[in-house]
Homo-oligomer: A and B are copies of this chain.
């Protein structure tokens, strides 16, 4: 039996039907003995989850949608935080009349464990030492992220989700939800994702990790009282951003244009694309923890939902779940063939599955950009599965 404490009164504030000014809430899971047993067998506790909700839960508690974020995302999926210029990461998709229509649905977004945006992660205080965990934080998996989220749903009184949806790492969590808790997921929307990481996907993450660990400031993960490994983390993020765009979208956005008149100190950014990567890298280090980057990318690389069994057998556990699988033509980080593997496994397992490969040039970022296409697909799918 799970009991919880809620550290803010954010729920009330979030019941406003427009997703205007939002605040993140924090739930500390109070399952005795106040810890999760992780996939590795290790224990983690206490565990706090940052989350936000949008729209209203109906009396039947049948309209809840869990939205799951990507590698660097957080609980703030929609609306604006007080004083902030930028809205949540999927703002265009969540709100009245939008793909995840908050006039109809109660949308929950939870930050993952291992992260650094309010949920327990390597920068959290280790109760054993009174210091930040650093590398004493246990290895976590996508399955562990989902297990923690299930406690949040327990707390919110949601037995069964109408839908779990997310792109990239969010899509992996969607698949894990359908496999770990098939009875709790009416519908699943994995977007721009994979049932397992390919060696190329592992390789890109590994180079990012090596860049972080090569930074002397990383210091074996012990940097919370000193300067963090900012340059290493910035390099990791720059690699990421290349893989999030397509060759064509980079050509359209930057071409070979130069900035600052193309002049400057030797090897300083000169092409616009170089300036963009530097900007993205420099921004990221202000808001993300390098150890979280290591832990979360490791969780992604170890993700293999079939884990030696056949994918259709494993996904086949979700007998009552309908799937909408979305991929994007120019996404070379999570290529469409990986989505098709999921679709074919669902078909072999006789599950209800719909597939769409959206004809986008935006690369992996498309799941954040191709709002119109996604809205069209998702709205119809949700109405069908909810019987509206």
| A214-B231 in contact (CB<8A) | yes
Instruction: For the complex, give the distance between the alpha carbons of A242 and B231 in Å.
Output: 21
Which of B135, B197, B207, B238 has a CB less than 8 Å from the CB of A242?
B207
Q: Using an 8 Å CB-CB cutoff, how does the interface string of A252-288 with B read, 1 for contact, 0 for none?
A: 0111100000000011010111100110010000000
Which of B214, B250, B301 has a CB less than 8 Å from the CB of A203?
B250
Q: In angstroms, how far is the closest chain B Cβ from the Cβ of A69?
A: 22
Chain B positions within 8 Å of A238 at CB level = 203, 206-207, 210
A238 — nearest CB in chain B belongs to which residue?
B207
Instruction: For the complex, give the distance between the alpha carbons of A271 and B298 in Å.
Output: 11
A291 — nearest CB in chain B belongs to which residue?
B267
Most chain B CB within 10 A, of A200, A231, A255, A272, is at: A200
**Interface residues on chain A, number (Cβ under 8 Å):** 50
Which of B200, B213, B254 has a CB less than 8 Å from the CB of A267?
B213
| B197-A256 in contact (CB<8A) | yes
Q: In angstroms, how far is the closest chain B Cβ from the Cβ of A15?
A: 42
Which of B199, B207, B247, B298 has a CB less than 8 Å from the CB of A239?
B207
Copies in the complex: 2
| A209-B267 in contact (CB<8A) | yes
- Those of A209-225 within 8 Å (CB) of chain B: 209-211, 213-216
Chain B positions within 8 Å of A197 at CB level = 256
> What DSSP secondary structure best describes chain A's contact surface?
helix
| B247-A298 in contact (CB<8A) | no
Chain B positions within 8 Å of A209 at CB level = 267
Chain B positions within 8 Å of A281 at CB level = 210
Does A355 reach chain B (CB closer than 8 Å)? no
Chain B positions within 8 Å of A294 at CB level = 267
Chain B positions within 8 Å of A199 at CB level = 250-251, 253-256, 271-273
A254 — nearest CB in chain B belongs to which residue?
B199
A-side residues, CB < 8 A to B, are 135, 139, 196-200, 202-204, 206-207, 209-211, 213-216, 231-232, 234-235, 238-239, 242, 245, 247, 250-251, 253-256, 266-267, 269, 271-274, 277-278, 281, 294, 298, 301, 304, 332, 335
List, sorted by A's number, 18 A–B pairs whose CB atoms are closer than 8 Å: A196-B256, A197-B256, A198-B250, A198-B251, A199-B250, A199-B251, A199-B255, A200-B242, A203-B238, A203-B242, A203-B277, A209-B267, A210-B278, A210-B281, A211-B214, A213-B267, A267-B294, A332-B332
Q: Give the 4 A-B CB pairs with smallest separation, nearest first.
A: A214-B231, A199-B273, A199-B250, A199-B254
